[in-house]
Amino acid sequence: VVSGMSRGENDNAVKVAMLGADEQLLPKTDIAKREPIPMSMMPEGILAPFSETQVRDLIGYLQSPVQVRMAMPGEIFLEGESLKVVKATGNAKPQPMGNFKAGKWTGGSHLWWTGAKPGDELVLEFSVSEDGTYALATALTKARDYGIVSLSLDGKAPLLDKVDLFNDPDVVDTGELSLGEHPLKAGAHTLNVKVVGSNPAAVHRHMFGIDYLRLLKK
């Protein structure tokens, strides 16, 4: 008898996470019967401090095959695909990135901007609840048909100048890029992305992808 949480399956096996052990693949030919266990695998009372909504969200997070990074204390962590698109020439939409094995994206997707040309701008909105100085950081996507971009805060303060997002042959992430520390008033702000060109070796489609935006109050 094996007790655990099912983490997915294919035609031949079931992946099971067992308490106090690593995930294991069980051949379906070895499974005679499946049934839910009558008790939780969590320690008794561990969910008592949480509301019903928080419990539901936590269970959904744990069951998800691709887990979204959770914010640390004092941190605002925003998935790129959750940012409000205020302005975009062309099209800006979420794109699943699970098929691109050479990179790693939080939540398994990014915000993908296509159909732009040099001089075009993507404007993304985010908010902070308190006045203060914030350290900003981001992670972007690189590929053979991505462009060179400049990033600014509220369309004014420069954050990154002429970031070359060309990479060949694989689609990869940039890793985290520091955007410096900046004073912000409580309320809405924008991350402005402007296409300024493309690498000579690139396919000139000037694409752009943002994985996340991270803010830490100092």
What SS3 string covers 36-70? Answer: CCCCCCCCCCCCCCCCHHHHHHHHHHHHCCCCCCC
Give the whole-number percent of the chain exceeding pLDDT 90: 64
What are the pLDDT digits (tens) for 25-71? 888 888 888 887 666 666 677 778 877 767 776 666 565 555 556 66
Residue 23: is its pLDDT beyond 80? no
Q: What pLDDT is stored for residue 206 in this prediction? A: 98
DSSP 106: G
Looking at residue 71, what is its pLDDT? 64
Per-position DSSP letters for 167-213, written without gaps between them: -SSS-EEEEEEEEEEEEE-SEEEEEEEEEEE--TTS-TT-BEEEEEE
What mean pLDDT is predicted for residues 203-208?
98
pLDDT in tens, 170-193: 999 999 999 999 999 999 999 999
Asked whether residue 207 carries a pLDDT value surpassing 70, the answer given is yes
Q: Among all chains, which residue has been given the structure tokens 């561990």?
A: 46
86-111 pLDDT tens trace: 999 999 999 999 999 999 999 899 99
Report field, pTM of the whole predicted structure over 0.85: no
**pLDDT score at 129:** 94
pLDDT of residue 61: 59
Domains and CATH numbers, the chain: 5-63 (no CATH), 75-217 (2.60.120.260)
